[in-house]
Structure 1
């Protein structure tokens, strides 16, 4: 008996949804199921096999059984998934073991657990966590720093605040890795990491990327009125305190180092448009340049060329004037 065209269309659409649900569930189980890797792979395969078997039954005309089976499997998956909650109490990697917090009273900002590690290699370092104070009335400039370690669309975004006395502090929204973990863009989609805000010295958080990990690092001076700089600094402190009190999962697409900054900026600057380059953070300088918020009158390719700091960072090493030396030749300085 020929199946009516409308029923066939519905079945095709339902099948596409079932395949997507099967793929998503398999990836979620592979990343998050609490078992050694072989058992995680087995669970993902069993899930995929069960979902596809029910789909075959649906195409054979046994409509009720596949429907009930899919509903039950998805309900079980959803219950398990919703039960995975963020936490601030895990065995954290050393560099994210103490996320920053702070308070602001008048012009004085006090930051706790400012990271100032002395990095020799990626695994050989001296940990240092410090309490520092900054006079926000002397806030002078804001820089955007991007670090690339893979394909061009993917970069990590850091924001550096400079003061009249030459001090600088960098804020970075980081994945909070456990001691046995390493970064995974896929894991970032599936609740593998919490998010944290790290405040750090540039000789730590910039130099570890340029000199130790040999990532490609670019620095851009951002044109920003002093009141907005100050508000952005305060927004970072608020976000750090919020994450310290109420942990949230990092998400590669929606809750990452760039989208969180964008969310803070939207509260400060009216009419800031959403743009695909906020998701492909490697292209963020083009977005900021289009808003006339980088060095005025300088082409983007020139800003990129002069903002590439790796050679200067290697020459500076861990010198006390590291921050000044990496800015030599950067438009705006």
Structure 2
């Protein structure tokens, strides 16, 4: 029994050493949807030019078109923030979340700008919760129009989403936007590992709100079990749970992603 236990411990130690010794890379054969990194340029007036904002279009189970645009955003123009949640597993305890920043109507079809913190998968790889913890994927920031991020999941992949308005002061949202853009710029130079439990839009949102107002969002298990983040943030008053919208394929047949006329 002692020998068996020692061998088991030795095996775990070898696995741990392999995991720790791995180094993230910018140079792999990436899946097409995560192949392009968003470049960032800070212009003299303080605006941020995002070089590759994705705006793919989708139908049921198919990609209809693929495109990217360079768009300049002024952090001071941010008007609001929204969070989407997609359940992943463990009975809804783990979820993928992404954010959408609201800009004025003058930004046209780039007014609703989304950020999704994702695994940068190689060709042929599929997402795994376990590999997401054990340095199995690099992390990437996908900046895309809201239509892209929503329709990709709901219409193309048939994953329902829940949308919440985030209720924090607009100056916090502006700061969150700036800091996330800065993180994106850093990732284009220095790759990092994705971590299912600690590197996600929910943990970033909590971190940046607490940077602006220390202790505003106390430590809570939902920053790891992100499928419970909506309940926690709602209880603290940061999400409007009563007006949450459940976005499904059927919902999209009856509603636009964003009802501009109502300001929703």
- TM-score in terms of structure 2 length: 0.85
1:303 partnered with 2:243 = yes
Of residues 164, 172, 177, the one that matches 1:228 is 172
Instruction: Spell out the pairing of 1:81-100 with structure 2 (5 A cutoff).
Output: 81-100=19-38
Given that residues 103 and 237 in structure 1 are in contact (C-alpha distance below 8 angstroms), is that contact kept between their aligned partners in structure 2? no
Contact 1:114 1:132 in 2 (8 A): yes
Matches within 5 A, 1:245-284: 245-271=189-215, 272-284=217-229
- Whether the 8 Å contact between 1:159 and 1:171 is mirrored in structure 2 is yes
* Preserved contact between residue 140 and residue 226 of structure 1 (Cα < 8 Å): yes
Shift of the alpha carbon at 1:123? 5.4
**Counterpart of 1:162?**
102
Kindly report the root-mean-square deviation, in angstroms, between the aligned alpha carbons of the 2 structures: 2.6
- CA offset digits 1:47-78 (Å, max 9, x no partner): xxxxx77246xxxxxxxxx6xx7897676555
Once the two structures are TM-superposed, the CA of residue 228 in structure 1 deviates from its matched residue by: 1.0
Q: Deviations over 1:22-58 (max 9, x none)?
A: xxxxxxxxxxxxxxxxxxxxxxxxxxxxxx77246xx
Offset, 1:119: 2.1
Q: Residue 199 of structure 1 aligns to a residue in which SS?
A: strand
Answer yes or no: is the 8 Å Cα contact 1:122–1:213 preserved in 2: yes
Between Structure 1 and Structure 2, the one with more strand by share is 2
Runs of 4+ in 1 over 4 A off after TM superposition: 69-79
What is the deviation of 1:268? 2.3
Larger radius of gyration: 1
Match of residue 141 from structure 1 = 80
Q: Which residue of structure 1 lines up, in the alignment, with residue 145 of structure 2? A: 201
Q: SS where residue 103 of structure 1 aligns? A: strand
Shift of residue 124 of structure 1?
3.6
Per-residue displacement from partner, 1:173-208 (whole Å, max 9, x unpaired)? 001110110111111122111111110011111111
Q: Select 1:315's aligned residue among 250, 254, 259.
A: 254
CA distance in 1 between partners of 2:19 and 2:94 (Å): 27
The number of equivalent residue pairs is 256
Q: Give the Cα–Cα distance (whole angstroms) in 1 for the partners of residues 214 and 112 of structure 2.
A: 27
Q: What are structure 2's unaligned runs of at least 5 residues?
A: none
Contact 1:174 1:257 in 2 (8 A): no
Task: Measure, in 2, the Cα distance between the counterparts of 1:89 and 1:194.
Answer: 11
Could you say which residue in structure 1 is the equivalent of 2:259? Answer: 324
Name the SS of the counterpart of 1:240 in structure 2.
helix
Deviation at 1:254, TM superposition (A): 2.4
Which residue is equivalent to 2:115?
Answer: 171
Equivalent residue, structure 2, for 1:9: none
- Quick check: 143-152 or 231-240, which moved more? 143-152
Question: How far apart, CA to CA, are the structure 1 residues paired with 2:168 and 2:243?
Answer: 17
Paired residues of 1:210 and 1:314 also in contact (CA < 8 A): no
Structure 2 contact 52–70 (Cα < 8 Å) conserved: yes
CA shift for structure 1 position 314: 3.1
Q: Return the offset for 1:257.
A: 3.7
- The answer to which structure, 1 or 2, has the higher relative contact order (CA under 8 A, 6+ apart) is 2
Corresponding residue SS for 1:147: strand
C-alpha distance in 2, partners of 1:76/1:293? 43
C-alpha displacement of 1:231:
0.4
